[in-house]
Amino acid sequence: AQSVTQLGSHVSVSEGALVLLRCNYSSSVPPYLFWYVQYPNQGLQLLLKYTTGATLVKGINGFEAEFKKSETSFHLTKPSAHMSDAAEYFCAVSQDGGFKTIFGAGTRLFVKA
């Protein structure tokens, strides 16, 4: 069965610092991977997705993620945090043979001035 683990329910960074949000997945076959962002009292918005091809994926708002099959990871990074990045971030995985997208529990990002 596929699953998603997001390490750290809360991450705090200073404005201008590197953002690193960790995501590990378990899947018996090559997965499709997504990162979504959720602002308070809103739905989720797609940041980026990995399906096939290049393992470094660039998304919106300066975020990127790297698919590392050997580490079963898909960590989200941004070189320089901005106050507007404060939100909750969800990693999600789906795979052939199933219909569902499985979401991680989420990581709330705090950005300090």
Partner 1 sequence: DGGITQSPKYLFRKEGQNVTLSCEQNLNHDAMYWYRQDPGQGLRLIYYSQIVNDFQKGDIAEGYSVSREKKESFPLTVTSAQKNPTAFYLCASSLKVQLNQPQHFGDGTRLSIL
Angle, CA of 33, 47 and 20, to the nearest 5°: 80
Residues 52-91 that bind partner 1 (CB under 8 A): 90
Among 71, 80, 98, 110, binds partner 1 (CB under 8 A): 98
Parallel, antiparallel or unpaired: strands 44-50 and 31-38: antiparallel
Parallel, antiparallel or unpaired: strands 107-112 and 87-95: antiparallel
Residue closest to 110 by CA, chosen among 76, 77, 87, 80: 87
What string marks each residue from 10 to 49 as x (binds partner 1 by CB under 8 A) or -? ----------------------x-x-x----xxxxxx--x
C-beta closer to partner 1: residue 71 or 96: 96
Among 51, 55, 61, 80, binds partner 1 (CB under 8 A): 51
Among 9, 28, 55, 61, binds partner 1 (CB under 8 A): 9
Distances (CA, A) of 13 to 7, 33, 38, 58, 84: 15, 25, 18, 21, 12
Binding residues for partner 1, rule: CB under 8 A, are 9, 32, 34, 36, 41-46, 49, 51, 90, 94-96, 98-101, 103-106
